[in-house]
Amino acid sequence: MGLIAGVLALCLAGVCAGGVALYYLNGRDEDPTPRPTNAALATGDAEPSDLYSPETVVTTEAAPPPAPVDVGDCISVDTAGSFQGVGNCNGSRGTYKVLSVDYRQGTCSDPESPYITVDGYRLCLALYLVRTYCYKFPSGPGWVVAAPKCKAKGTVHVIDIVPGASNGNKCTNDYKWNRWYRFTHPTVVYCVMQY
């Protein structure tokens, strides 16, 4: 029994002495910063800065600017299709309704629908005219705009609106009109008094 106790005492003394020696060899620094093991430094193979992973650079895309309009807004454009501002959908200001707003400028859900680009956003639009209001239609391709003055030469006064129609056969007989215009995307017929 005495022999076993002696061996244990020697082992404990060796472990304690080794721990104390290691403590003194490391300089008794109280700095909690991790440092490399002495083995790596002793061989000269690595510098302390080589033992840590480099910082990962995270790349991000800048957030797009705020959209100039919301889906469902009605907007005004000029005859060239330039954005004039947000109007309203009651006919007093705004001739196109915004169907989608896309910063990536992909295609519209209906690739044939009109669109404009504002502040980097593609605005997919649908013509949106209101009964009893006056507009100026383009002669050929172009943009419908609010009439500067109702019943002025070259303007139209919307009398009836027939969604999905292909001609003026379903225009109202309750009010006088003298011409109809068919638009697609979406398909609609506007029955108007043309001046």
Give the model confidence (pLDDT) of 60-87 as tens digits: 888 888 999 999 999 999 999 999 999 9
Burial letters for 74-104: b for 16+ Cβ neighbours within 10 Å, e otherwise?
A: bbbbeeebebeeebeeebebbbbbbbbbbee
**pLDDT tens per residue across span 110-134:** 999 999 999 999 999 999 999 999 9
Cα dihedral 129/134/138/141 (nearest 10): 0
| Domain-embedded: residue 152 | yes
Q: Residue 106: its pLDDT value, please?
A: 85
Sign of CA dihedral 103, 109, 111, 116: negative
Q: Looking at 128, 160, 184, which one is the last position of a domain? A: 128
| Domain-embedded: residue 52 | no
Q: Residue 35: its pLDDT value, please?
A: 53
Q: Is the pTM of this model over 0.85?
A: no
- Measure the CA–CA gap between 89 and 146, rounded to whole angstroms: 12
Q: What is the mean pLDDT of the chain?
A: 83
| Domain-embedded: residue 19 | no
Q: What percentage of the chain reaches a pLDDT higher than 90?
A: 58
| Domain-embedded: residue 3 | no
| Domain-embedded: residue 23 | no
Residue of 166, 170, 87 whose CA lies nearest to 129? 87
| Domain-embedded: residue 13 | no
| Domain-embedded: residue 124 | yes
| Domain-embedded: residue 7 | no
Residue of 117, 105, 103, 119 whose CA lies nearest to 63? 103
- Measure the CA–CA gap between 2 and 64, rounded to whole angstroms: 81
Question: Of 164-168, 177-181, 183-187, where does mean pLDDT reach its minimum?
Answer: 183-187
Q: Residue 7: its pLDDT value, please?
A: 46
The answer to whether residues 84 and 118 belong to one domain is: yes
Number of domains observed in the structure of the chain: 2
The answer to whether residues 123 and 75 belong to one domain is: yes
Helix (H) or strand (E) holding 108: none
Are 74 and 92 a contacting pair, CB within 8 Å?
Answer: no
**pLDDT tens per residue across span 153-169:** 999 999 999 999 999 99
Q: Range of 178's domain?
A: 147-195
Identify the residue with better confidence: 148 or 39. Answer: 148
